[in-house]
Amino acid sequence: MSNLMNTYMQLPVTFANGEGVWLWDEAGKRYLDALAGVAVCGLGHCHPKLVKAICKQAGTLIHTSNLYHIGRQEQLAGKLAVLSGMDNAFFCNSGAEANEAAIKLARLYGHGRNIDLPTIIVMEKSFHGRTMATLTASGNRKVQAGFEPLLTGFARVPYNDLEAVAQVGIHNKNVVAILVEPYQGEGGVNVPQASYLQGLRHLCDQNGWLLMLDEVQCGIGRSGKWFAFQHSGIVPDVITLAKGLGSGVAIGACLAKGMAADVFKPGNHASTFGGNPLACTAALTTLEVIEEDDLLRNSMELGDFMRSMFKAQLAGLPDVRQIRGQGLMIGIELSKPCGDLVKEALKRGLLINVTSDNVVRLLPPLVMQRNEAEQVVNILSAIVKEFLMV
């Protein structure tokens, strides 16, 4: 009997320690991690450089307050600005909070333009978090049901449908922004048409809307570039980050550019823990290691390698609908619900996830090597084949 609130359907395992792409449970059984704490542990587990940096920072200064200047935070904002092309950053502690900041920023931007009921266009099958605003923004009834009344100020359209967005713009003069995942994660590892973000950028430019990209899952190297939008050649107005940014030390960020970067004024938004020296050190070290170890290239190449290996091993199976993704964000869509695969993989020492009922999702650490990736594909392909035979 546990004293935890009943919010998670937990798998029957407790991990005791980890190293690289491997985890060990309390009985000493070893697991190959193809999920990385759901896109968090890009550097794998307990990367020595990260461990050293956070231990050193913990012994120097952990937290002061945003009432004072924080050197590590300013350094991190500068680094993220260089990598993303944004102008400035607000730091918080999670993806939901980063999106909450973006939603508030968009509303304030709207009020600044004399729009009293600002509306944000959001997508079907999207996921933006579990706070009231972010679950309202999410395109999934399961995360909303029971929490009504939801917020107003959102207009929902199908993902990957530019015409639907244009239509909202024609009929609703209160639109101030679009909030969208460049690649949808929880919604089933959905990859839109190549020109989708360009089309959204064009609509935003025409209408004076902010283009706000939720890169909480697909950012920080996961797609094979620092940020997923960098595959499309456009520049957004707002980017939200969390997950992979701190390698497991909680940190989120809302980055902004141009007009969007000047919206917040003192008193508009805040976070007690946001951007403390410890979290910022974890993030700075994460970015450093990604650069030094050429992990963007690894993410791009290994992702392509794994998708082509899966395509070869699962070829000809009519119940395998599609193998898709970008970089180390990999989805295998089956024609039937396949949640049971997670337990079967766990038994065989492999950590995977199933999302949207019928999509096997892999989010391996960016440090994964080819031979480890081969093991993931071999174990998982065998399990999928057995599952589809019965």
Ligand X SMILES: Cc1ncc(COP(=O)(O)O)c(C=O)c1O
CB of 217 to ligand X, least distance (A): 4
- 376 phi/psi in degrees, rounded to 5: -60, -50
What is the rounded CA–CA span in Å between residue 83 and residue 283?
13
Residue whose CB is less far from ligand X, 101 or 300: 101
- If you write DSSP's letter for every residue of 233-286 in order, what string do you get? T---SEEEE-GGGTTTS--EEEEE-GGGGG---TTS---SSTT-HHHHHHHHHH
The footprint of ligand X on residues 239-258 (CB under 6 A) is 242
Tell me the C-alpha to C-alpha distance, in Å, between residue 135 and each of 90, 129, 177, 182, 319: 21, 6, 17, 18, 32
User: Which listed residue (80, 86, 96, 235) binds ligand X by CB under 6 A?
Assistant: 96
CB of 75 to ligand X, least distance (A): 23
SS3 percent helix, strand, coil of the chain, rounded to 5, is 40, 20, 40
Residue nearest to ligand X (CB): 95
- What is the total count of residues that contact ligand X (CB under 6 A)? 14
Residue whose CB is less far from ligand X, 177 or 377: 177
Active-site position among 229, 243, 264, 310:
243
127 is catalytic: yes
The footprint of ligand X on residues 135-194 (CB under 6 A) is 181, 185-186
User: Of 5, 13, 98, 9, nearest to 354 (Cα)?
Assistant: 9
Residues 6+ apart with CB under 8 A from 64: 70, 276, 277
CB of 127 to ligand X, least distance (A): 5
CB of 316 to ligand X, least distance (A): 32
Residue whose CB is less far from ligand X, 76 or 329: 329
Residue whose CB is less far from ligand X, 220 or 383: 220
CB of 371 to ligand X, least distance (A): 29
214 is catalytic: yes
Residue whose CB is less far from ligand X, 94 or 276: 94
- By the rule CB under 6 A, 94 interacts with ligand X: yes
User: Of 366, 95, 346, nearest to 221 (Cα)?
Assistant: 366
Place of tokens 């944000």: 120
User: Of 280, 304, 302, 284, nearest to 292 (Cα)?
Assistant: 284
What is the DSSP pairing of strand 320-326 with strand 329-334?
antiparallel
Active-site position among 33, 90, 91, 127:
127
What is the rounded CA–CA span in Å between residue 247 and residue 220?
10
- 151 phi/psi in degrees, rounded to 5: -80, 160
CB of 216 to ligand X, least distance (A): 4
Residue whose CB is less far from ligand X, 99 or 232: 99
User: Of 168, 267, 183, nearest to 219 (Cα)?
Assistant: 183
Residue whose CB is less far from ligand X, 320 or 329: 329
- Is the distance from CB of 46 to CB of 18 less than 8 angstroms? yes
Q: Which stretch binds ligand X (CB under 6 A): 23-31, 44-52, 124-132, 142-150?
A: 124-132
Binding mask 194-233 for ligand X (x = CB under 6 A): --------------------x-xx----------------
Active-site position among 33, 90, 214, 237:
214
What is the rounded CA–CA span in Å between residue 338 and residue 359?
7
Q: Which stretch binds ligand X (CB under 6 A): 92-100, 286-294, 301-309, 321-329?
A: 92-100
243 is catalytic: yes
- Give the tokens for residue 202: 């064009």
Residues that bind ligand X (CB under 6 A): 94-96, 99, 127-129, 181, 185-186, 214, 216-217, 242
Catalytic residues: 127, 214, 243
